Amino acid sequence: MTASYKQLATDIGGKLKEMNKEIPESMQGFQQMAKATHADGALSAKTKELIATAIGIAARCQGCLAFHAQACVRMGVTRKEFEEMLQVAIYMGGGPSVMTAAEALQAYEEFGGEKAA
């Protein structure tokens, strides 16, 4: 587990900028896919962001946790919504996802999400 998800997002963000310069076609394609995927449609953008976070948990991707938790906070995801997403991720990923779900909750709180009462 990382000590700071904010620092992780900053560090990875720097490397993503390098990749944008060094492999622009691939990165532009990925960014276009992300933009199209996260637009409101039959599912809201917020719902899609929660799905992306759950997949990040199941894949045990710390960088995903940082960027998607930050996006969830920015989109106004409540703690209850975040916790329900954690339940789905744990259900689908088993024991290892319990650990990663705790990390995701840490990231959510670090980016300003609601803390437990």
Digit-coded pLDDT (tens) for 80-107: 999 999 999 999 998 989 999 999 999 9
- Helix (H/G/I), strand (E/B), else coil: 1: coil
Whether residue 2 lies inside any domain: the answer is yes
Whether residue 106 lies inside any domain: the answer is yes
Residues of the domain holding 7: 1-28+55-117
pLDDT of residue 8 exceeding 90, the answer is yes
Whether residue 38 lies inside any domain: the answer is no
Q: pTM of this prediction?
A: 0.88
Whether residue 102 lies inside any domain: the answer is yes
Q: Report the C-alpha gap between 39 and 45 in whole angstroms.
A: 6
Whether residue 83 lies inside any domain: the answer is yes
How does pLDDT run across 47-85, given as a tens digit for each residue? 999 999 999 999 999 999 999 999 999 999 999 999 999
CATH code of the domain covering residue 113: 1.20.1290.10
Whether residue 40 lies inside any domain: the answer is no
pLDDT band at 1 (very low <50, low <70, confident <90, very high): low
Whether residue 39 lies inside any domain: the answer is no
Q: How many domains does the chain have?
A: 1
pLDDT, position 2: 59
pLDDT band at 3 (very low <50, low <70, confident <90, very high): confident
Q: Please give the biggest Cα pair distance in the chain.
A: 46
